[in-house]
Amino acid sequence: MRRGFTIIELVMVVAILGILLGIVTTAAAGAIRQARSKKASACCAIVQAAFETYYAQKGKWPGGIESKITGDKTNSEGRQDRSDDDLYVLDPGDVDDMMRDILREYKNGNPCLDISGLFVSRSSSAPRSERCPICGGTRYFPAKDALGLDFMTAIRGTKKDANGQRMTTSQMHFGYPHKVDGKFMPFKVTYSKPTDRMTVDQWHWEP
């Protein structure tokens, strides 16, 4: 008489498969998050180097940013966006202008950066913001529709973005992929007035 599987044996097999699937899923999620984290760090490093190279060549920062970092800037609610008079956090729109200056230099035969490493988005919706409990400044959250793309993919066009339409640099917002969900995030660019130095970093963000 042929013996089949018992209910207990089937339950054990399903349980083992579930455990194995959980282990694989957790490992894959960890690997994806680690890759995004490395990509985000690389994006910041690339842009930091580009700004410094431009400054070394021109003796000024790109985007005419000097005129935007003098005096006190307030947001729409009348609050200062900066923690003190010597440290300025640039608006993401101003950072986009700086990046377009860098790209114009690239087109003119003066490559200040590796454009293939850029991460961009067409989304014009502003990320939600609030006061960061860590630094006291504004912190950004990914916008729901902020699809991020590698620069080369964006200029060639992709079905994932506006039915294959290519992006122009004027349509681009520049940033990095968030390590949790991979959505587009704008750079946090800080200017130190005493040292005349720009620092490109990621925003504080907790899921």
- Stronger pLDDT, 44 or 206, i.e. the higher one: 44
Locus of tokens 């014009």: 124
Does residue 52 sit in helix, strand or coil? helix
The DSSP bridge pattern shows strands 173-177 and 197-201 to be: unpaired
φ, ψ at 64 (rounded to 5°): 55, 35
Domain residue spans of the chain: 7-201
- Is a pLDDT exceeding 50 seen at residue 72? no
* pLDDT value of position 2: 54
Mean pLDDT, the chain, integer: 79
The residue among 38, 41, 8 whose CA lies nearest residue 187 is 41
* pLDDT value of position 140: 82
- Is a pLDDT exceeding 60 seen at residue 16? yes
pTM for the whole thing?
0.75
